Structure 1
């Protein structure tokens, strides 16, 4: 027994939701609302508070369960002896009869999607892509090493810290998968599936790959209003996934969903490397590679179309092509994990150990860019106001409302 082992860090503090005062709403998603909250106890450094309202959680695909899962994942990051530089830590959390909420550090630089649109041509240079991809790969590598498949890698979930370095966010769609004992990160109990012939497109039959059914619901999945695909489990959600087994949930963001997720073959860590390829393509060209006229067309392209590159082939386009391999067992990163991707020609000469030492990342958020306050409001008060009925419209007066027998035309 090692008596010199450091004791585990204390759990994150419990937040007092009744006394939290937000200065701005940073965003609203399908599962919750994110507020900017000042924290005077930490020298005035603000934090981002995500709040899930329980009254509507069950109508939003069990958002309460997903919220607790995200808190659990963030707690694991915070419990590490050395927090990862490109992953958030949990500042605190709270739960009562009305809300589930948790706080992480605020990133004043916004997300990569916002940052890309600020560029003159709305794309990043290969050098900038190289820097951001390297940090993202390190973050995903750490997740996979912890047995976590991210499943929601996209520009909106990559935030820019005050230092200019990135951090991943939103782990409610992540899933725990047990790594192989061999040390390779990927779990696959059905090796035979990897060598089967993938189905070919035959007219309308493509719908069986892109419209997962829920039980006996003949209408399939209701089309989501946002780009994010609602998680639709192909198994009992209470059934635990066993060691070395794939996940069968249909989750992700439609333009970033991997072919194996659409096919329903079961998926594991390689879905994150597919999403990395889509992300890289979007950073380079300003659009995702398989976007169609509608969701069905997008899924058809993901399954059968090849990415179209502009200009001369380069190390970057070669990297993208290898990440966008439709057969996950042939995808770059499947067998060797992040180490395999780090060895690609595009990253030649990069000193991975010194990424955190870069003092001048491509873009630094200005101090005065921190979100302007919109006036303080209590968290509970904010949701109570949302439930108030809209003000009654002004009623036009009738002739009977006019005094002294005057008609409207006499005014």
Structure 2
């Protein structure tokens, strides 16, 4: 089978029509259309796959199936308008490739006007990639053509995370940015702001509420199910108690009596919060309580006719407070209750720090995972800012931001600085994730195989993590050059990764994004696990996680099934990673995510002849689909026969020499990182002034921290 690889380079704007005063910021949308024969015998084009949006200078692939067509649409970001398009069969594009296999750079004529520059190259792949891997050829003796036919790991794979769900009484609220004026369904007040006062919207019934109001809503969601998200735990008991109280004392099953109404002035829906549009018969009005809704919202409105949710909820809270105070048997207990009431009265902008002090990460309090407080340093440590560093190269990038090599001015010290855009953090509702990442990086100083954090600081636009620079590069870079690792090398890396994962799991932290890209080598050749942005804390006993996240190739079956999970998902990902190190390709395959996930759920990986029995058994036990039977869950992986020659105590003390030492020319050498990143211009992405002005900087209070080792 042959497939075509297309790289999008640039669009010629000379012949394109642009709105006056707009900024030229184009992007591409790519649709793959299949030729399908209908029942009448005619042929029509059908889009079976989702539209993809490749970045500039990035590639997408397509097999040369009969009748398949590619449609490339060029749009401008702000304003989001259509500019031009190109459509052709994949085979016609493939005919424009060079016969000698070299990359062809051409201009595509767009409609109605304009030109798009692309690079084209055809590749051939064997029908059975596993057979090519069974050859006894070593990677060093294989030709480039043979390497391309083996299905080797040739691309980096980004992580994904589903939007965080806030569940309450069956509602499934998501952080939402309202483009039109919107009012809160609970308190009837306006939902202000673009960034700093983001609202929540139920994905089932479309109810719009403030962030501070969602837990006070009394009405049950008509389409709500059982609570299953990570946010359930802290409200579950209170909701159950409140449900019983409502059932006993109040009859809240009072349907509205809606009637079509003509509104003579602008009116907003009391459920979804947006305006009722139209000239007449714009919506429905309750004849009893004057509740106004869209026609589409009627079926989603809870039966709360005549009930003021805000007043009732506040009254119930007052009753609970009075009871808690009267039940206190001592002055200290009453004082504690008063403090709790003050906390409940405060809003999200209270003056305490959002981020906990990292002095607490140097010691652990037993199995609870809570840190023992240490005495702060005698003098306040020096604080840093981005102007204190010289940014040298881009080491990696993704939806989160960038990682850059930086030199501390007036010194010969080099660091890796991870920069997160605040607007992206807020848009994805990831403040908690940055708190967890910062906390885990602080803990990492206690273990030799986790990346160490030196300091954190912030600007108006960015959050910065200053970490140790590991100039040995990541395992993805090295496996791309060697195709696969020999068993000794894979076993050594695997053993050090096991120690790092066990350190996290013992402290109730699951990693959730283990992959070749996130395992780096130091100058001596030891591994370091990096990028803790997907970590989840406090996973002990029955306290499990349920967020759908991870890198598609490494996601465990229990995550795909929507089940709750624990550290078992890390051991599945480790099995995938160990398979890739030993064999040089992924154990599961699919042309798109749906097919890949189906492969993860049902396919059995095949092993080449030259893989030893111990290695096969070890990988197979990590890739056990039943998490309760998986290696790492029911048995310590260090005891498996595959690792019997490893002295883990000596390994953890770094007393065993690595089997491979990366080639490093200097402390600032970046030759072990992907040129795709290191050749980029080093610059921080800017944020639109309107968005920047709307960011509530108080939400990042307490983020800055300096490790005392930074001053050494």
Q: How far apart in 2 are the matches of 1:343 and 1:164?
A: 24
C-alpha contact (below 8 Å) 1:13/1:92 kept by paired residues: no
Question: Please, what TM-score do these two structures have when normalized by structure 1?
Answer: 0.69
Q: 1:360 and 1:343, CA in 2 relative to 1: closer, same or farther beyond 3 A?
A: closer
Q: 1:77 aligns with which of 430, 436, 444?
A: 444
SS of 2:685's equivalent in the other structure is helix
Residue 371 in structure 1 maps to residue 673 in structure 2? no
- Structure 2 unaligned segments of length 5 or more: list them: 1-371, 672-677, 690-712
Does the 8 A contact of 2:388 with 2:408 survive in 1?
Answer: no
1:236-247 equivalent positions in 2, closer than 5 A: 244-247=542-545
Task: Give a deviation string over 1:74-97, Cα, whole Å, max 9, x none.
Answer: 12334xxxx311012211001233
CA distance in 1, matches of 2:509, 2:602: 28
Q: CA RMSD in A?
A: 2.6
User: Any conservation in 2 of the 1:23–1:376 contact (CA below 8 Å)?
Assistant: no
| 1:311-344 Cα distance to aligned partner (Å, 9 max, x none) | 16510011000000000001011134xxx10110
Q: Could you tell me the TM-score, scaled by structure 2's length?
A: 0.41
Residue of structure 2 equivalent to 1:315: 614
Match of 2:471 in 1: 108
Q: Is the 8 A contact 2:512 2:550 kept in 1?
A: yes
- Write out aligned runs for 1:17-96 (5 A): 17-40=386-409, 44-59=412-427, 61-78=428-445, 83-96=446-459
Aligned pair count reads 306
Instruction: Please say if residues 23 and 374 of structure 1, whose CA atoms lie closer than 8 Å, have aligned partners that are also in contact.
Output: no
Distance 1:360 1:245, change over 3 A: closer
Is 1:126 paired with 2:487? yes
Give the structure with the larger strand fraction: 2
Alignment partners' CA distance in 1, 2:681 and 2:564: 46
1:229-308 to 2 correspondences below 5 Å: 244-308=542-606
**Alignment partner of 1:175 out of 536, 539, 560:** 536
- The counterpart of 2:640, out of the listed 329, 344, 351, is 344
1:152-208: per-residue Cα shift (whole Å, max 9, x none)?
Answer: 0000000001121000001110101343xxxxxxx3xxxxxxxxxxxxxxxxxxxxx
Task: Give the Å deviation of 1:151.
Answer: 0.4
- Deviation string, structure 1 residues 81-139 (Cα, Å, up to 9, x no partner): xx3110122110012331111111011111001011121xx000011111000100000
Matched, 1:334 2:633: yes
Relative to structure 1, is the Cα distance of residues 348 and 8 closer, same or farther in structure 2, using a 3 angstrom cutoff?
Answer: farther
Distance in 2 (CA, whole Å) between partners of 1:279 and 1:6 is: 36
Match of 2:503 among 139, 142, 147: 142
Query: Contact 2:450 / 2:500 at 8 angstroms: preserved in 1?
Result: yes
Q: Does the residue aligned with 1:33 lie in a helix, a strand or coil?
A: strand
How much does 1:18 deviate?
3.3
Rounded to whole Å, the distance in 2 between the matches of 1:341 and 1:375 is: 41
Aligned equivalents of 1:370, 1:306: Cα separation in 2: 41
Query: Which deviates the most, 31-40 or 257-266?
Result: 31-40
Structure with the largest fraction of helix: 1
Which structure 1 residue ranges, 5 or more long, are not aligned? 180-186, 188-243, 389-411
Contact kept? 2:572, 2:623, Cα under 8 Å: yes
Give the 3-state SS of the residue equivalent to 1:315 in structure 2: helix
Relative to structure 1, is the Cα distance of residues 352 and 97 closer, same or farther in structure 2, using a 3 angstrom cutoff?
same
Deviates further, 98-107 or 306-315: 306-315
User: What SS does structure 2 have at the residue aligned with 1:152?
Assistant: coil
Decide which of 643, 646, 649 is 1:353's aligned counterpart.
649
Q: Measure, in 2, the Cα distance between the counterparts of 1:24 and 1:40.
A: 15
2:526 corresponds to: 165
Q: What is the CA–CA distance in structure 2 between the aligned matches of 1:301 and 1:291, rounded to whole Å?
A: 6
Task: Render the CA deviation track for 1:233-272: whole Å, top value 9, x for unaligned.
Answer: xxxxxxxxxxx32101001000000000000111100101
In structure 1, the residue matched to 2:144 is none
Range with bigger deviation, 11-20 or 282-291 = 11-20
Residue 13 of structure 1 contacts residue 91 of structure 1 at CA under 8 Å; is this kept in 2? no
* Distance of 1:259 and 1:161 partners within structure 2: 32
Any idea what the Cα deviations from partners look like across 1:3-41, whole Å, max 9, x if unmatched? Answer: xx9955759853212333201111111111111111257
Point out the structure with max Rg over C-alpha: 2
- Runs of 4+ in structure 1 off by over 4 angstroms are 5-13, 372-377
In the alignment, is the contact (CA less than 8 A) between 1:261 and 1:267 conserved in 2? yes
